């Protein structure tokens, strides 16, 4: 089956080469054993997934592995953000140990961002690191969380505060899997597609404005193009700044500081999906950029209008929160990017011109959020 290949180049040619391929195409799950090849070196392959994904793909994965003379060993977890916690991290780790996973083995994360983050973190800490393969089945996971090696769990103090950088050995992004997603999940993932245009590619944002509604409606070619372009954009950033040390990779957090505060306020529940929070967060980042004199109001309105045209919440007031702006700002103080008491924000000088501002006044953010809640 045909597919596009995007390489994530990390230390290529050195003894610390962590480079890997992201394959984007249709039918990759059915061909997963052939594509993974020598990475699956044992007759038994541990697979972590959730209940929703298992109903859809367990049979296909079993058949693919059996055709290659291998058997899947399954750990099926509850779906949802609440699964990214200490208890389920222990459950996944114990599962790998019970299955005899060694440092040279590769386990499989089959599912969306929650499964990928949780499984990847367990792989990072198991015997100080084993290999893992990402098979992302949601749009958000295909274009963002499955690529780049950020793995983590949530804690009562905040989102993704305990984790590790641990790169996958291979990512298989099966576009056909997107046909099974509810529209709400597609829209949530689409927010991360739009993000790449807003960061540094105004032409891609224009492409989204033109093609976003048709992509969401089911056009497979548009979906494939969006995933391939998004993965390529993220691969470039990760290759330049794998561990977010220079500030380049921090731009991928556009909308996330605002969005994580909204997720915390809604209890990391189905009331607000991660991608929905990021979409609102990017609108808020644009509005705050206008307030700070960095960006024209017309650009911020254009961003909000695009999300609205795609059927998404486009203003904070749409969420119907009953809290203060100060409370939302206080959530941000638990952000993992806090550094010496200051919190950097990704803002914009225009569409496709994101930058990192390390001098934002959190009191001004609190006042701004209060205005946006009204």
- Domain locations along the chain: 3-180, 183-373
Closest CA to 338 of 260, 278, 273, 268: 260
Same fold, 3-180 and 183-373: no
Closest CA to 141 of 79, 190, 77, 211: 190
Is residue 3 part of the annotated active site? The answer reads: no
Q: Cβ distance 266 to 183 under 8 Å?
A: no
Q: Cβ distance 234 to 168 under 8 Å?
A: no
Q: Residue 153: how many CA atoms within 13 Å on its side-chain side? A: 20
Is residue 9 part of the annotated active site? The answer reads: no
Among the four given CATH numbers 1.20.1090.10, 3.50.30.30, 2.40.50.140, 3.40.1480.10, the one describing domain 183-373? 1.20.1090.10
Is residue 244 part of the annotated active site? The answer reads: yes
pLDDT at 1: 60
Is residue 52 part of the annotated active site? The answer reads: no
Which helix H or strand E contains 51, and what residues bound it?
A: helix 51-67
| pLDDT per residue of the chain (374 residues) written in tens, 0 to 9 | 689 999 999 987 676 789 999 999 999 999 999 999 889 999 999 999 999 999 999 999 999 999 999 999 999 999 999 999 999 999 999 999 999 999 999 999 999 999 999 999 999 999 999 999 999 999 999 999 999 999 999 998 888 999 999 999 999 999 999 999 999 999 999 999 999 999 999 999 999 999 999 999 999 999 999 999 999 999 999 999 999 888 899 999 999 999 999 999 999 888 999 999 999 999 999 999 999 999 999 999 999 999 999 999 999 999 999 999 999 999 998 887 777 678 999 999 999 999 999 999 999 999 999 999 98
Closest CA to 171 of 10, 36, 307: 36
CA distance 123 to 132: 7
For residue 135, what are the β-bridge partners? 110
**DSSP three-state, residue 229:** helix
Q: Annotated catalytic residue: which of 52, 253, 276, 291?
A: 253
Q: Annotated catalytic residue: which of 274, 291, 306, 331?
A: 274
- The string over 213-249, giving b where at least 16 C-beta atoms fall within 10 Å of a residue's C-beta and e elsewhere, is bebbeeeeebbbbbbbbbbbbbbebbbebbebeeebb
Is residue 326 part of the annotated active site? The answer reads: no
Q: Annotated catalytic residue: which of 3, 224, 249, 287?
A: 249
Domain 3-180: assigned CATH number: 3.40.50.1970
Virtual CA dihedral for 113, 244, 3, 53, nearest 10 degrees?
-10
Is residue 249 part of the annotated active site? The answer reads: yes
Phi and psi, residue 213, nearest 5°: -60, -40
Q: Annotated catalytic residue: which of 256, 287, 291, 331?
A: 256
Is residue 159 part of the annotated active site? The answer reads: no
Closest CA to 312 of 284, 282, 276, 274: 276
pLDDT at 14: 74
CA distance 30 to 52: 18
Is residue 91 part of the annotated active site? The answer reads: no
Q: Annotated catalytic residue: which of 234, 287, 291, 331?
A: 234
Q: Annotated catalytic residue: which of 81, 209, 244, 276?
A: 244
Q: Annotated catalytic residue: which of 260, 291, 306, 331?
A: 260
Is residue 349 part of the annotated active site? The answer reads: no
Is residue 274 part of the annotated active site? The answer reads: yes
């Amino acid at each position: 089956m045909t597919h596009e290949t995007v390489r994530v180049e990390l230390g290529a040619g050195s003894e610390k080469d962590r480079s890997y391929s992201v394959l984007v195409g249709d039918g990759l799950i059915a061909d997963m054993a052939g594509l993974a090849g020598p990475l699956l070196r044992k007759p038994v392959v541990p697979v972590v997934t959730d209940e929703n994904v298992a109903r859809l793909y367990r049979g296909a994965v079993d058949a693919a592995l059996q055709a290659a003379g291998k058997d899947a060993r399954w750990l099926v977890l509850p779906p949802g953000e609440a699964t990214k916690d200490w208890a389920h991290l222990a459950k996944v780790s114990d599962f790998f140990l019970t299955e005899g996973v060694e440092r040279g083995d590769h386990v499989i994360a089959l599912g969306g961002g929650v499964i990928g983050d949780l499984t990847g973190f367990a792989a990072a800490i198991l015997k100080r690191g084993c290999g893992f393969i990402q098979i992302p089945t949601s749009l958000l996971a295909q274009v963002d969380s499955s690529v780049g090696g950020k793995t983590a769990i949530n804690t009562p103090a905040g989102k993704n505060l305990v984790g590790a950088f641990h790169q996958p050995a291979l990512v298989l992004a099966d576009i056909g899997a997107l046909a099974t997603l509810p529209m709400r999940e597609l829209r949530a993932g689409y927010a991360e597609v739009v993000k790449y245009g807003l960061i540094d590619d105004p032409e891609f944002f224009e492409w989204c404005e033109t093609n976003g509604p048709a992509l969401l409606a089911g056009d497979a070619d548009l979906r494939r193009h969006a995933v391939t372009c998004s993965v390529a954009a993220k691969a470039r950033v990760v290759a330049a700044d794998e561990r977010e040390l220079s500030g380049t990779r921090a731009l991928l957090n556009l909308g996330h500081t605002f969005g994580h505060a909204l997720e915390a306020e809604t209890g990391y529940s189905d009331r607000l999906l991660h991608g929905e929070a990021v979409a609102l967060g990017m609108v808020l980042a644009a509005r705050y950029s206008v307030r700070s004199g960095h960006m024209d109001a017309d650009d911020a309105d254009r961003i909000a209008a695009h999300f609205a045209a795609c059927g998404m919440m486009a203003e904070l007031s749409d969420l119907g929160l009953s809290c203060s702006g100060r409370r939302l700002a206080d959530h941000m103080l638990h952000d993992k990017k806090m550094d010496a008491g200051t919190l950097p924000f990704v803002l914009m000088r225009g569409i496709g011109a994101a930058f990192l501002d390390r001098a934002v006044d959190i009191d001004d953010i609190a006042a701004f959020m209060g205005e946006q809640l009204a």
